[in-house]
A and B are shown apart, each in its own frame.
Chain A
Amino acid sequence: MDFSGLINDFGPLTVSGLAQGAIIALFALGYTLVYGVLRLINFAHSEVFLMGTYACLFVWGLFGLDQNSAAPSVGLMLLYLVIGLVGAIIASGATALAVELVAYRPLRRRNAPPLAFLITAIGASLFISELTGVLTHRNQKGVPPVIQAKPLFTIGDTTVTNLQLLIIVLALVMMFLLDRFINGSRLGRGIRAVAQNPDSAALMGVNKSRVIGLVFLLGGLMAGVAAVMYNLKIGVTRYDAGFLLGIDAFAAAVLGGIGNLRGALLGGLLLGVLQAYAAGLFGSQWLHAASFVLLVVILLFRPTGLLGESLGRARA
């Protein structure tokens, strides 16, 4: 164990952990939204994210950007960022809807047992990631340096880069917008209604099918944003990138209290920071093990996660 190393690098590890955690949190929202409404683990959400990473690269590719391009000027940078976000959001949203349509809707029509949904989602996940693997020759794809990481300011001996700040701020903004949407808008009220009691909501005139579609779409949007952030931070994507980060995101959702939006944010940030500390203290190979140990310990004391489960309001 390397205590002195952890203390020396405490600041930088915290910042990079927060950035990673912000991505995990955005990703985790998809799990939490679907779980809150349908009480299902949407196993295919990892592939929703994966499609976002590839779509973002595809769109940048249309502008002639590849991993060898020079870093663009500030104006172009913003343009590329917005375009990348739009591309990723469209692809992730579409994938989420497609999964809902193909893997979930037919089962819902027959009121199938919950495990059946889990298995079709696993099938969908396998199908999308493996197909991507074959089509990309299982190679990695490098990301163009759309945003070059530059030190922005320094607190003590901790340097924060523009990229880290952007990721954290963007994640918080997205969270805030989503929270406002769910808790403040008419459509959001529909979502909360279905989450609380689907049958009563249907009787009160809420279109359940549409609400479910909307929930998948929202999860997809968040995953799309997470995908662009991931591209910029990690710099490389591959056909199994979704599965890898998906486990973290799922763990983060459960950690915060699955079905709870703010819980996903808390869980994600906590997990990201903890992974960074664990990697600093024990070595990078223990990073995932540490996050699961934390998860088990927390669930032992709070069996429904840190903030408990609830979408919008407490469930009766």
Chain B
Amino acid sequence: MRQVLARAIGGVAIIGLIAGAAACNSDSGSDDTASGSNCGYKLAYFGALTGSAANLGVNIEQGFELAIEQYNKAKGSTCIEVAKFDSQGEASVAPGVARSLVADKKILGIVGPPFSGESEAADPIFEAAGIPTISPSATRVSLASKGWKTFHRAVANDDSQGPAAAAYIKDNMKATKVFVADDQSAYGAGLADVVKSKLGALVVASDKTEGDGKQADFSALVQKVQSSGATALFYGGYYTNAGIIRKQLSAAGWKGTLIGGDGMKDLGLSKASGVQQAVGTVVTCPCSPPEAAGGTFVNDYKAKWNVDAGTYSDVAFDAANIFLQGIDAGNNTTEKLNTYLSTVNYKGIANTYKFTETGELDPSLIKVWAFKFDSSGDAKADVEIKTS
């Protein structure tokens, strides 16, 4: 009898746990905030907020949310609501989350998806629903050639950054022995392949590592770099792995320079490796230096989130502002907003934005800068890279 009772209690407890959790659903969709014209709409962030890619996703989401908060403050009311959709950065999760996003008819525009893989899975759904997207970081070249009318990206694709990185290694660093490695992500491998082909005979050796969170011991890579005699290591990948690699290279006494793409432009790199080790590390980025663009973004971000702005935070901030400007100008349907995006010319804090027919950034506006980590632990603008 005792057992039956225990079982019954167990069953009730489990049901109660789920139902209880359900009972405190976060309240979504309060309709009373709409005040003034062009208000009462939502902008959505779509991307990773949990999972192993969450650090990049959170950077983007916080930049996005900051822009909307500032806009609402200026309006004096909750004019545009923030909607967050967690794809976990995974292509397998993305479609279901995307379908729930398009079911919300108040959403006019989407900042995201951050990664190319989830974009492949989710963008067809956004396209079918006609909601414009601006991705702050999906750089795979093929995304723009799928014929999606709603697709836009606020960064240059892999094809424009790779040659610039190669040019920097060749012309600015004057390196003659370069080691090229990547993390096998679509982003990292794509970048490394371009760099490798542009550098040609300067590449003395190469290697591949596993992705973020799948490898922590890089001693074999470090050993190969050391014995190759290379003075520069180009790593195609994100700052998570790059920070560990930088640290292990320094620990092994390698004196060369680590160089990488915009996925490594994050304070997280120097936080993992230590500032002294990170000093001199170069990252290329198809973006303008934030100091040049001015504004109080860096301080505002820190004040709001109590952490420093990370990779793509500024681009996401800009992307949100592009939408907000459009909505403010009366583009209050997804169709109008999408048409507006095809004509927009917006000067933001990280770049000036103008989209081509396929949703790419206008090539004439793409500037690639080199940033260098200094003793503050942050990557500061170094030089603009001339590719021709």
Choose from B54, B205, B219, B272 the contact partner of A236 (Cβ within 8 Å): B272
B176 in contact (CB, < 8 A): no
Looking at the assembled complex, report how far the CB atom of B308 sits from the nearest CB atom of chain A, in whole angstroms. Answer: 11
A238 in contact (CB, < 8 A): yes
B273 in contact (CB, < 8 A): yes
B221 near A279 (CB under 8 angstroms)?
Answer: yes
**A67-B272, A68-B276, A284-B208 are contacts. A244–B216 as well, Cβ < 8 Å?**
yes
B207 near A241 (CB under 8 angstroms)?
Answer: no
CA distance A19 to B219 in the complex (A): 10
Choose from B55, B207, B220, B252 the contact partner of A13 (Cβ within 8 Å): B220
CA distance A5 to B115 in the complex (A): 35
**A16-B220, A280-B220 are contacts. A235–B210 as well, Cβ < 8 Å?**
no
A287 near B55 (CB under 8 angstroms)?
Answer: no
Q: Which stretch in A56-64, A133-141, A200-208, A213-221 binds the other chain? A: A133-141
B174 in contact (CB, < 8 A): no
A288 in contact (CB, < 8 A): yes
B251 near A235 (CB under 8 angstroms)?
Answer: yes
B220 near A287 (CB under 8 angstroms)?
Answer: yes
CA distance A245 to B184 in the complex (A): 20
The proximity string for B residues 49-61 relative to A, scoring 1 for CB distances below 8 Å and 0 otherwise, is: 0101011001000
**B386 neighbours in A (Cβ, 8 Å):** none
B216 near A241 (CB under 8 angstroms)?
Answer: yes
CA distance A159 to B273 in the complex (A): 23
CA distance A133 to B244 in the complex (A): 18
**A148 neighbours in B (Cβ, 8 Å):** 251
Residue of B nearest to A17 (CB): B219
Choose from A17, A149, A284 the contact partner of B221 (Cβ within 8 Å): A284
Looking at the assembled complex, report how far the CB atom of B380 sits from the nearest CB atom of chain A, in whole angstroms. Answer: 17
**A139-B268, A241-B216, A245-B216 are contacts. A284–B223 as well, Cβ < 8 Å?**
no
B224 near A280 (CB under 8 angstroms)?
Answer: yes
Choose from B215, B224, B253, B273 the contact partner of A5 (Cβ within 8 Å): B224
A9 near B273 (CB under 8 angstroms)?
Answer: no
Choose from B52, B251, B268 the contact partner of A240 (Cβ within 8 Å): B52
Choose from A5, A9, A13, A68 the contact partner of B274 (Cβ within 8 Å): A68
CB under 8 Å from chain B, chain A span 132-161:
133, 137-142, 144-145, 148-149, 151
The proximity string for A residues 262-284 relative to B, scoring 1 for CB distances below 8 Å and 0 otherwise, is: 00000000000001100110011
B213 in contact (CB, < 8 A): yes
CB under 8 Å from chain A, chain B span 168-210:
181, 184, 205, 207-210
A288 near B268 (CB under 8 angstroms)?
Answer: no
B106 in contact (CB, < 8 A): no
**B208 neighbours in A (Cβ, 8 Å):** 283-285
**A235-B273, A244-B213 are contacts. A8–B227 as well, Cβ < 8 Å?**
yes
A140 near B217 (CB under 8 angstroms)?
Answer: no
B23 in contact (CB, < 8 A): no
Residue of A nearest to B208 (CB): A285
A139 near B224 (CB under 8 angstroms)?
Answer: no
**B54 neighbours in A (Cβ, 8 Å):** 133, 138
B148 in contact (CB, < 8 A): no
B213 near A284 (CB under 8 angstroms)?
Answer: no
A72 in contact (CB, < 8 A): no
Residue of A nearest to B6 (CB): A110
**A137-B58, A240-B52, A240-B213 are contacts. A235–B248 as well, Cβ < 8 Å?**
yes
A140 near B52 (CB under 8 angstroms)?
Answer: no
**A68-B274, A240-B213, A279-B220 are contacts. A138–B55 as well, Cβ < 8 Å?**
yes
CB under 8 Å from chain A, chain B span 249-268:
251-253, 268
B243 near A238 (CB under 8 angstroms)?
Answer: no
A308 in contact (CB, < 8 A): no
Choose from A140, A149, A280 the contact partner of B243 (Cβ within 8 Å): A140
A236 near B244 (CB under 8 angstroms)?
Answer: yes
**A140-B268, A240-B213, A244-B213 are contacts. A67–B220 as well, Cβ < 8 Å?**
no
CA distance A9 to B229 in the complex (A): 13
B214 in contact (CB, < 8 A): yes
Residue of A nearest to B220 (CB): A279
The proximity string for A residues 233-256 relative to B, scoring 1 for CB distances below 8 Å and 0 otherwise, is: 111101011001100000000000
B219 near A67 (CB under 8 angstroms)?
Answer: no
B215 near A287 (CB under 8 angstroms)?
Answer: yes
B220 near A276 (CB under 8 angstroms)?
Answer: yes
B244 near A234 (CB under 8 angstroms)?
Answer: yes
Choose from B52, B217, B240 the contact partner of A234 (Cβ within 8 Å): B217
**A125 neighbours in B (Cβ, 8 Å):** none
**A9-B224, A235-B273 are contacts. A276–B55 as well, Cβ < 8 Å?**
no
**A233 neighbours in B (Cβ, 8 Å):** 217
**A137-B58, A142-B273 are contacts. A13–B223 as well, Cβ < 8 Å?**
yes
B367 in contact (CB, < 8 A): no
CA distance A14 to B58 in the complex (A): 40
B340 in contact (CB, < 8 A): no
The proximity string for B residues 213-250 relative to A, scoring 1 for CB distances below 8 Å and 0 otherwise, is: 11111111101100100000000000010011001100
CA distance A236 to B209 in the complex (A): 17
A198 in contact (CB, < 8 A): no
Instruction: List 16 additional A-B contacts (Cβ < 8 Å) besides A5-B227, A238-B240, A244-B213.
Output: A67-B271, A68-B274, A140-B243, A140-B268, A142-B271, A148-B251, A149-B252, A234-B216, A240-B213, A244-B215, A275-B220, A276-B219, A284-B181, A284-B215, A287-B210, A287-B220
15 A-B pairs with C-beta separation under 8 A: A5-B227, A68-B377, A141-B271, A141-B272, A142-B271, A142-B272, A145-B274, A149-B253, A234-B216, A234-B248, A238-B240, A284-B209, A284-B215, A285-B209, A287-B220
| A contact set with B: CB distance below 8 Å | 5, 8-9, 12-13, 16-17, 19-20, 67-68, 133, 137-142, 144-145, 148-149, 151, 163, 233-236, 238, 240-241, 244-245, 275-276, 279-280, 283-285, 287-288
The 6 closest A-B pairs by CB, nearest first: A279-B220, A16-B219, A235-B247, A67-B274, A285-B208, A140-B272
